[in-house]
Amino acid sequence: MSAAARFVYLWEYLVREDAIERFRTIYGPGGEWVQLFTRSPGFVRTELCRDLANPRRFVTADYWRSAEARDRFRAEYAREFAALDRACESLTESERFLGDFHLEENA
């Protein structure tokens, strides 16, 4: 993990079966979400995790230098964020915010 990452926020998705590959492309480390996030110097990386028991269930972990850096990005790029979010709605059956987390330095 990058020493610069101090904050992560997590989302859970249930992806439509016919949209799994597209979802993986858009939400993965080189996808459109990461391309948008990299406009912020406070963004560190994204990890895409797939559930072993349910291959349609994914979790994204977006790492930032701080919650404030993420919040500044969301304010500055609100229009672009909302447009990409709308464009991705058809890929999932559900999405759920799991929370904001501080990364412990000695964990």
Which CATH number belongs to the domain containing residue 35 in this structure? 3.30.70.100
Q: Residue 107 — very low, low, confident or very high, per pLDDT cuts 50/70/90?
A: low
* Distances from the Cα of 86 to the Cα of 89, 91, 101, angstroms: 5, 10, 25
Q: What is the pTM of this model?
A: 0.91
Least confident of 31-45, 71-85, 93-107: 93-107
Count of domains for the chain: 1
pLDDT reported for residue 5: 77
Residue 85's domain spans which residues?
7-101
Whether 53 is in a domain gets the answer yes
pLDDT in tens, 21-62: 999 999 999 999 999 999 999 999 999 999 999 999 999 999
Whether 1 is in a domain gets the answer no
Whether 106 is in a domain gets the answer no
